[in-house]
Amino acid sequence: MAKGEPSVATKRPEDKTARARASGDPPAEPEFVQLLTPDGDRVEHPDYAVDFTDEEYRGLYRDLVIVRKLDAEATALQRQGELGIWASLLGQEAAQVGSGRALREQDMAFPTYREHGVLYCRGIDPIMPLGLFRGVDQGGWDPNEFKFNMYTIVIGAQTLHATGYAMGVALDGKVGNGGPDSDSEAVIAYFGDGASAQGDVNEAFVWATVFNAPIVFFCQNNQYAISQPIERQTRVPLYQRAAGFGFPGIRVDGNDVLASYAVTAPRSTTRATARGRA
């Protein structure tokens, strides 16, 4: 599709959630941001949009294929006994590439142990985490050089580290409007659905919001914490918890690389065209 041609289909899927809300029934389907259907059709969202060039779309697809391939290789190495363990990103490629590519060079990321796709987007040699999972080094990259902290195995601990770092960013006065030319720094902390029930994570939410820290909490809900299903972590959709802490919560289709990009990027860099919400 050439630039300038309509890149977004005008038709939205039937909004069953809105219809259910109007009828007073509970929502029939989860509300989430989606710019691509599972069949690959482009759909609009009233608040989020992207407008990439053909080469940029191809670049995202290339990233998805590469990180899946790297993950498959690492899984095979683990099965052959070369790695002690491997935390696979299978099924989380789009969430990681979308959010990872939305980061600006100066933004700081705090991963769990599974963010190999974000690591790749930060420009770190993807061989690096293999040394960590083989037990021969601590990970091997310089967090300050790549603005990507070391992997954290202790569930949820990185959300506290990230919040403290973000408070430091604010104290340094490096906060701003997030525009492309801004030298403001934002922080992103990745965590899982299971981690959302961890005390550290909830404390991080309180501190981040009370001190207005420039941080995005990016939860990848793969439905399980090892063997514990999401029903054992929460009775409400996880994104709704954010309201109780005082920050916006957005539910996004993690299999949709475009939506994952759009919700993570500063609004001024999504080059969104729909309804002038650039």
Q: Which residues bind ligand TPP (CB under 6 A)?
A: 114, 153-155, 192-195, 222, 224-226
Q: Indicate the SS3 state at residue 136.
A: coil
Q: Which helix (H) or strand (E) holds 20?
A: helix 16-23
Per CB under 5 A, does 156 bind Mg ion?
A: no
Q: Judged by CB, which is closer to Mg ion: 120, or 190? A: 190
- The region of 76-84, 104-112, 222-230, 254-262 touching Mg ion under the rule CB under 5 A is 222-230
Contact partner, 155, from ligand TPP, Mg ion, none, Cβ < 5-8 Å per class: ligand TPP
Site string for Mg ion, 25-44 (x = CB under 5 A): --------------------
Characterize 223-241 residue by residue with b for buried, 16 or more Cβ atoms within 10 angstroms of its Cβ, and e for exposed.
Answer: eebeeeebeebeeeebbee
Nearer to Mg ion, 179 or 229 (CB): 229
> Locate tokens 């041609």: which residue?
5
Q: List 191's β-bridge partners, or say none.
A: 219
Q: Which is nearer to Mg ion, 187 or 195 (CB)?
A: 195
Cβ closest to Mg ion, residue 153 vs residue 278: 153
In this structure, are residues 218 and 99 in contact, taking their beta carbons and an 8 Å threshold? yes
For residue 30, give the 3-state DSSP assignment. coil
Tokens 């989020």 correspond to 48
Decide if residue 254 touches Mg ion (CB under 5 A).
Answer: no
Measured from the CB of residue 123, what is the shortest distance to ligand TPP in angstroms?
A: 23
- With residues binned 3-state (H G I as helix, E B as strand, rest as coil), the percentages for the chain, rounded to 5, are 40, 10, 50
State how far the Cα of 86 lies from the Cα of 116, in Å rounded to an integer.
Answer: 11
- Closer to Mg ion by Cβ: residue 139 or 192: 192
Binder among 184, 222, 234, 268 for Mg ion (CB under 5 A): 222
Residues in contact with Mg ion by the rule CB under 5 A? 192-194, 222
